[in-house]
């Protein structure tokens, strides 16, 4: 079920009414309702894959129960690896089976050896990378004794399958979300209103910005061989805003929807395109994933401690794995490697934590240094997104070759060019609002400058009208559903 669909517009009020008006005095029934609603939400896409979520839930719940009483370290490790193998095994089979098989065949063909191996027609379950990592965080934290295992199976099931963030995050830690299912929730008007603001902005980012940018990005990337250099640059820029509007829009809707039910999820995006270096970008982009890899992979490997070789190794491991997490294609691995290359100079010069505060904090405009830092980081990010969007590495290389040709100085030439430039003005307006709201937990908090009630209501009215007039309702899925 898509957030930007009529189905969800009917589904959400029904669940909300049942949750607050029918089951409000019974915590267990509220949690059970969340489980049922979440299974309906996920099963709306394909009910058969509910079995994977249910099986993972049962395995990790039972592993947690055994870890509660098991003190022998060797047996605790067996229990941990049982959870890891089951969860990563499902993920590996459904998402990476064909990739490894085809890479294996291609590797042998380089030496003149032909191997006949047929790939399987595998459907990748929506959101498998997200809920797999979420339930793994529970087992790992219980193993490390950072979290007491739960005895409440319904609460644990609700944590694993919580429908607002089930298929595209944020990837919640058990230490943050699971305890919220233990405590009685009370309806808080101000929290619900703020959640609605965040949902509104998320919808705007998705169906106005991302989906309109997708029209031109898809056309240009799909026909890149026929486009000149300046047009290819436009295509990369449109995809840059498409993927940000699409993914951060989903996160905003997920977090806002969670607040309607009395839950607080972690912030997943913090205006990443205003970052002054690539390290800051990764502190602000897909925060739940980057911190997951930091805590469960990078730090156990040694992090930034040790010699230069270990720092380089750990940096490349974390970024290559992050790239591979996104999909079974060498383009994602190259994308991750590029970001590792961007990041290394900052790490090796101990400048990777230089820009921790909000850019231009307390000021309306950035300094010259901040502006050029943002411009450089944005340019590097756009370049890397070409690999992320391309069909394969050769497509990305030819696309980049087309940019760096003499035609880069030509005017963009493609159909509906006028509409594309109108969209760029819309994106600029979007960028300005994001800038004004850059210091909030979400953009429409608008903490940077004083907003009177009339100005706020005028802005909300404008956003709603743009959604109704310019939005693509139910036509475009979310990019990160495939991951």
Residues noted as catalytic: 326
Contact 262, 230 (CB under 8 A): no
CA distance 177 to 31: 13
The pair of structure tokens assigned to 213 is 């940018």
Q: Alpha-carbon distance 322 to 338, whole Å?
A: 12
Structure tokens at 84: 């890891």
- 83 neighbors 136 (Cβ within 8 angstroms): yes
> 43 exposed, middle or buried (CB, 10 Å; 0-12, 13-18, 19+)?
middle
b/e burial code for range 151-164 (CB count within 10 A of at least 16 → b)? ebebbbbbbbbbbb
C-alpha 359/C-alpha 371 separation (Å) is: 9
Whole-angstrom Cα distance, residue 219 to residue 241? 15
The Cα 99–Cα 91 span in angstroms is 13
| Cα–Cα–Cα angle for 402, 403, 406, rounded to 5 degrees | 80
Q: Phi and psi dihedrals of 340, rounded to 5?
A: -65, -40
Do residues 159 and 178 make contact, with C-beta atoms less than 8 angstroms apart? yes
Write the DSSP assignment of 333-346 as a string of letters: HHHHHHHHHHHHHH
CA pair distance 437, 429, nearest whole angstrom: 13
Contacts of 43 (CB under 8 A, 6+ apart): 50
Distances in Å between the Cα of 122 and the Cα atoms of 41, 87, 95, 125 are 22, 17, 8, 9
């Amino acid at each position: 079920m898509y957030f930007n669909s009529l189905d969800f517009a009917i589904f959400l009020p029904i669940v909300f009414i049942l949750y607050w008006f029918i089951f409000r005095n019974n915590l267990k029934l509220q949690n059970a309702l969340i489980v049922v609603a979440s299974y309906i939400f996920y099963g709306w896409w394909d009910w058969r894959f509910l079995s994977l979520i249910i099986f993972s839930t049962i395995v990790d719940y039972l592993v947690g129960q055994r870890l509660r009483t098991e003190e022998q370290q060797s047996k605790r490790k067996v229990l941990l690896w049982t959870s890891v193998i089951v969860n990563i095994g499902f993920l590996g089979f459904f998402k990476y089976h064909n990739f490894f098989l085809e890479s294996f065949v291609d590797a042998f063909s380089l030496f003149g050896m032909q191997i006949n191996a047929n790939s399987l027609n595998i459907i990748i379950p929506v959101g498998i990378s997200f809920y797999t990592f979420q339930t793994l965080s529970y087992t790992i934290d219980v193993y490390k004794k950072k979290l007491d295992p739960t005895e409440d199976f319904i609460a644990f099931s609700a944590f694993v399958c919580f429908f607002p963030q089930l298929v595209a995050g944020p990837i919640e830690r058990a230490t943050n979300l699971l305890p919220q299912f233990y405590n009685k929730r009370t309806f808080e008007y101000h929290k619900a209103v703020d959640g609605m603001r965040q949902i509104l902005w998320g919808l705007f980012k998705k169906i106005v910005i991302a989906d309109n940018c997708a029209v031109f990005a898809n056309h240009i990337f799909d026909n890149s061989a026929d486009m000149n250099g300046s047009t290819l640059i436009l295509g990369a820029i449109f995809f840059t805003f498409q993927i940000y509007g699409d993914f951060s829009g989903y996160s905003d809707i997920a977090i806002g929807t969670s607040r309607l039910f009395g839950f607080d999820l972690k912030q997943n995006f913090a205006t990443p395109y205003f970052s002054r270096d690539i390290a800051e970008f990764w502190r602000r982009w897909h925060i739940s994933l980057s911190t997951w890899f930091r805590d469960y992979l990078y730090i156990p490997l040694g992090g930034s401690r040790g010699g230069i070789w270990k720092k380089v190794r750990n940096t490349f491991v974390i970024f290559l794995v992050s790239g591979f997490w996104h999909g079974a294609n060498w383009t994602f691995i190259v994308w991750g490697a590029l970001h590792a290359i961007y990041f290394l100079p900052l790490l090796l010069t101990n400048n990777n934590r230089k820009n921790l505060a909000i850019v231009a904090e307390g000021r309306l405009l950035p300094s010259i240094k901040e502006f050029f830092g943002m411009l450089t980081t944005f340019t590097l990010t756009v370049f890397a997104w070409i690999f992320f969007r391309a069909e394969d590495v050769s497509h990305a290389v030819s696309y980049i070759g087309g940019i760096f040709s003499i035609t880069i100085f030509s005017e963009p030439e493609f159909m509906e060019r006028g509409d594309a430039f109108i969209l760029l003005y819309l994106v600029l307006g979007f960028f300005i609002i994001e800038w004004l709201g850059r210091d909030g937990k979400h953009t429409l908090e608008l903490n940077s400058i004083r907003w009177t009630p009339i100005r706020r209501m005028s802005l909300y009215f404008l956003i709603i009208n743009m959604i109704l007039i310019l939005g693509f309702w139910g036509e475009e899925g979310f990019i990160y559903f495939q991951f």
